[in-house]
Amino acid sequence: MSTKPTTTDLQWTELDQRAVDTARILAADAVQKVGNGHPGTAMSLAPAAYTLFQKVMRHDPADADWTGRDRFVLSAGHSSLTLYTQLYLAGFGLELDDLKSFRTWGSKTPGHPEYGHTTGVETTTGPLGQGVANAVGMAMAARYERGLFDPEAAPGTSPFDHFIFAIAGDGCLQEGISGEASSMAGHQKLGNLVLLWDDNHISIEGDTETAVSEDTAKRYEAYGWHVQRVEPQENGDLDPAALYAAIEAAKAVTDKPSFIAMRSIIAWPAPNAQNTEAAHGSALGDDEVAATKRVLGFDPEKTFEVADEVLAHARKALDRGREAKAEWEKGFAAWRTANPERAAEFDRIAATELPAGWEEKLPVFETGKGVATRAASGKVLQALGAVIPELWGGSADLAGSNNTTIDKTSSFLPADNPLPEADPYGRTIHFGIREHSMAAEMNGITLHGNTRVYGGTFLVFSDYMRNAVRLSALMHLPVTYVWTHDSIGLGEDGPTHQPVEHLASLRAIPGLNIVRPADANETAIAWREILRRYTKVFGKGNPHGLALTRQGVPTYEANEDTTKGAYVLFEAEGSDGQSAEPEVILLATGSEVHVAVEAREQLQAAGTPTRVVSVPCVEWFDEQDQGYRDSVLPPSVKARVAVEAGIGLTWHRFVGDAGRIVSLEHFGASADGKVLFQEFGFTAENVANVAKESIAAAQR
C-alpha cells in the first residue's frame, strides 16, 4: 500500500489512497489486456491526476461542458489512461467496460484522448507539446471572455474566473512548440494557467540525460513563470499533500503562469519495471502486473479490480460538482441581473449566433480596381470587428503584411505592458514569431469556447504550423488561418518565401477547407461564409485557410456562388455575343483567375467559345450536389485547362484525360512577381495556347 501524504493540509483518507492505487492497477490491466500502450506514466501520475480531479478542480462530471468549469489538458497524451481512469472514477460517463476495451475498435478509450469522442476530454492530444500550447490558448481565451462579459469584477470574483490545468512530460517540454507557447504565456502573464511537469527522467531511448541537460525549472523562470518543485515521498511516490499545497500556492499567484515540477518514478511501484524506459510504452507483462498488485495490496489473480466502497467514494465528485455548479449559478444569476445587455450578448455568443445585421457591414469593392486580396481581407476584419466583439486574432509578427490588425488601439497584452495600446482584454493578438504555437493556441482558444479566432502568417510558413493545423481538422475546430503571400507573385523574396507545394499539400488534409479568392469581392464573401459555417455541434465545424495575394488583382462583380466553391465567372459566347456552349473551360484560383479571363478574351476573339470558372474552394465545391457541379463543369466539355501557380496535384481529377494544367512543378526564383509569371508561363498567351492543345486532345 502506498504511503499517506505527509501533511494534514489536504483531506486524504485511506479510500483516497486506495482510489489512487486502483487507478494504477487499472492502467496496468488495461494495457496488459490489449497488449500495447503506455502504462508507466499513468501509474506514476495517478496521485497527481486524482488530486486534481477530486480535490482541486471545479467541474461537474454530470455536465462536462459547464461554462464555469476549470479545464484540464493532458499534454502527455500517450498517457491517456491517466485521464481515462479519473473520468471513470469521478463519474464522467466512462465505466469499467470502457477501460477493458482500451485501444480497441469503437471504444470510448482510444490510444490518445480525442476531443468530441470521450466526455471530459477537452482536447485531442498525442503529438507532444501540442497540449501545452492548447492550454495557453485556453488561458488566453478565458481572459478575453472575461473582458467581453465581466471586465470590471475584482480578481477571483467573476463567474468567468477559472483555471486551466495541464500535465506535460519530458517529451512535451523538449518539443519546440511548448517553448514557443510557454514564452507567450509568460509574456502574457497568464495567472490562470497551472502546468504540472512530470519530471520522471525517462523517455523512449532511456534516461533523458541522453538528450537534455538544461535546468528546465530555471528555463521557466526565465520565461516569467512562477516555479515550484514538489519532491516525492521517501518511498519515491508522488506526495499528494505537497502537490496540493503547490497547486494552491500557484492559484494564489495571479500575475504569472505557474510551473510545478513533480519528480516521479515511472511505473511506480512495479518492482522491476519502475524507472525503466520499457515501462513507458510497453505492457508490463503478467508477472510484473501481478507483482505490482501484491505491492499495493490487490489480489494478483483478479483483473480490473475496483472495490465498491472505492468507486462510491470517488463518485462523490458528482455531488461536489453539483454543489459547485449550483453555487456558481447563483453568482452567474446575480451577474445576469446586474448586466442584462452583457447577458444577452453572452446568450447570443454561447449559441454561436452572430449579431443582427452583421452582414450589412461587409464591404463591397468597386469593380475593375486592382486590390490585393490580403488588403481586402484586412478591410473585412476591420469592418466586422466593430460589430462582432467575439471576433479577435492577430499574426505571427506579420500583421502589417497579413493585414490582420482588427483594432490598432487595442492589443491583447497585460495591463502593465509599456505599449500605449496594451489592454488585458484587447482585440489584437501579437503571437510573435511563433507560428507553430500560434496555431495550437488558436485551437485552445476555440476549444475554450465563446470567441472566434483567426491568425495570420505567410502561406509558405504554414509548414511550421502543419501539425497543429492537422489537429484543427481532426477536432473539427472552426479556426481561421489567414495565409498571405500565396504564390510566386510575391516576387523578390525568392523561393524560400514562395509557396509552390503548399496549396495542394494543405488541401490533402481531410476537413481543412482552403479558400483562395480571385479578388476583393470573393474575399469578402468568403469571410462571410466562413463565419456563417461556425457551429458548436461536435463533428460539424471545420477549419478554414484563406490564401491571399500580396499583389493587386482586378476586382469583378460580387457573385454569391462564391459560397459554392466554384462558379461560372464568365460564360462562353458565340459569334453573336450570346451565351453559347463552351468549347473549352478554363478553371483558375486566386491571382491566376485574371490570367484565365485574359486568355478567354483571346480565345473568344479567335472564335473559340470559352468559359472561365473561378474555384475559390475545392472543398466547398465538392459539397455541392452533382447537378450543380455538372452545371459548372459539364461532362460533355472535355477540353479543360486548370491554372494555378503551384503544383498541379489538385487539378487532375477536374480536367480529365484531355485536359491540361498550367502549374508550377518546381521552386520559384527571386525577381519581380510579374517577371516570374511571364517566365513560368502564367500568361494569357500561354494559357490560350494550352487551351488549344486541350481542344485538340478532346477531338481525337
How many residues belong to the chain?
A: 700
Q: b/e per residue, 658-680, with b = 16+ CB within 10 A?
A: bbbbbbbeeebeeeebeebbeeb
**Given the DSSP bridges, would you call strands 391-395 and 258-263 parallel, antiparallel or unpaired?**
unpaired
Question: Hey, CA dihedral for 74, 75, 77, 78, is it positive or negative?
Answer: negative
Contact between 368 and 557 (Cβ < 8 Å) = no
Say if residue 634 is preceded by a cis peptide, omega within 30 of 0: no
C-alpha cell at 402: 497579413
| Residue among 345, 441, 391, 352 at smallest CA distance from 150 | 345
Q: Helix 286-296 vs helix 14-34: angle between axes, to the nearest 10 degrees?
A: 180
| Residue among 267, 229, 233, 269 at smallest CA distance from 249 | 229
Among 180, 288, 435, 592, which one carries the catalytic annotation? Answer: 435
| Residue among 349, 401, 359 at smallest CA distance from 380 | 359
SS3 labels along 126-180? CCCCHHHHHHHHHHHHHHHHHHHHCCCCCCCCCCCCCCEEEEEEHHHHHCHHHHH
Contact between 342 and 149 (Cβ < 8 Å) = yes
Catalytic residue list contains 435: yes
In terms of C-beta density within 10 A (0-12 exposed, 13-18 middle, 19 or more buried), how is residue 296 classed?
buried
474 residue type, one letter:
L
Catalytic residue numbers read: 435
